[in-house]
Structures are given as structure tokens and as C-alpha cells.
Structure 1
Amino acid sequence: MDQLVQAVIAVMGPAAIWLSQSRSVQVQRWACIVGLASQPFWFWATWESGQWGVFVVSLVCAAAWVKGLWVHWLAPRPADGLGTIQLTPDSKRP
């Protein structure tokens, strides 16, 4: 069981971080799903080993992944989407 837990942590943790750094929002939004799926394994491993500092960090990370779940999947969106402001290189003044 311990090897399975360690394998899941070793694969899913970095995968979630990698997804979160994508340029594509469609890819970024999956980071919180993968991150949340790995959190029970983090909780189990740190609880069993008595690493209370890492356990607290895993709780904070879980809260961050829940925030991502809210932002990317659950939050209501305006019907026409959210507008952004873009500055082109030519628009900068010296």
C-alpha cells in the first residue's frame, strides 16, 4: 500500500503542477482536478508518518486546489464572458 501511495504522489503531484503552468486555460483548469485527486494520498502518507508540518502544508494545498475547482469549474460566469485588456507593444509610451 505504501508503494502505491508514493507512486500516486510522485506522478499526480508534479502532473498537477505541470498542468497549472500551461499557457492554455483549457489545460490549466485540469490542474485542480488532478491536484485534488492526489490529496487523499498526501493526507494518508503524512498522517501515517507523523509528518505534521507536511500534513498542514497538504491541507493548505488542498484549499488551493479547491479554489482552482471553484474558479475553473464551479463559479458562475457572465453570459458574454469576461473581457480582458490587452496592450500591444506599439501602445507603450516612453
Structure 2
Amino acid sequence: MENINIHSKMFQFRVLLSVLAIIIAIVGFTQPVDSYTQTYARATLSLLLSTVMGTYAFERLQEKKWLPFSAYALVSLLNISVVIQTIFPNVHF
């Protein structure tokens, strides 16, 4: 198992995004079904997930591990397309 450096900036950034994602998920689940708050909470949650996956992709690119890099980058791009479709429902890919 890798030695986790809790003082690194990337780890602190991921922890911050994880805490924000938990807060936004709670807000999204407590709102009525078709409210704007829930819609934008889901979009923001997907965007946060995309950002976290993007940081993992960037680390794997620096380590020259191509398969994990491409998987993380693909998931990140798919989440960005979910954000676009959530905010603009008439856009089709």
C-alpha cells in the first residue's frame, strides 16, 4: 500500500472536495424532487467528482501509468457531459 502523505496539497484538496461533496449530497437529497436546488446540487456533485477523478488522472499521467490515466480521464469526461446535460437538458450528445 502506498504511503499516504496527509500533508501534501493534493491530499488536502481531495479531502476538501470530499467534504464539499458530502454537504452537497445532503442538500440534494433533502430538497423536493424537481426543484432547481436539487438539479444544481446534482450538477455540482458531478462536477466535484469529475475534479477529483481529474486529479487522480493527472497523478497517473505523471507516473506514466497509461491505463489508469485513460480510465480516470474517461470517467472525468463522462461526468462533465452529465453536468452539461443536467444544466442544459435539450443538448444531446
Task: Give the TM-score normalised by structure 1.
Answer: 0.53
Q: 1:75/1:61 Cα in 2 relative to 1: closer, same or farther (>3 Å)?
A: same
Q: Separation in 1 of the partners of 2:62 and 2:19?
A: 22
- 2:42 corresponds to which residue? 28
Residue pair 2:51, 2:76 contacting (<8 A) in 1 also? no
- Opposite residue 72 of structure 2, the aligned amino acid is S
Q: Is the 8 A contact 2:50 2:79 kept in 1?
A: yes
How far off its partner does 1:36 sit? 2.9
Find the structure with the greater CA-based Rg. Answer: 1
Counterpart in the other structure of 2:9: 4
**Are 2:71 and 1:57 aligned?**
yes
Deviation of the 1:51 alpha carbon: 2.4
Structure 1 stretches of 4+ with a deviation exceeding 4 A read: 13-16, 18-22
Gaps of 5+ in 2: 1-6, 32-37
> What's the % identity of the aligned pairs?
4
Give the structure-2-normalised TM-score.
0.53
Cα RMSD between the aligned structures? Answer: 3.1
1:68 aligned onto 2:82 = yes
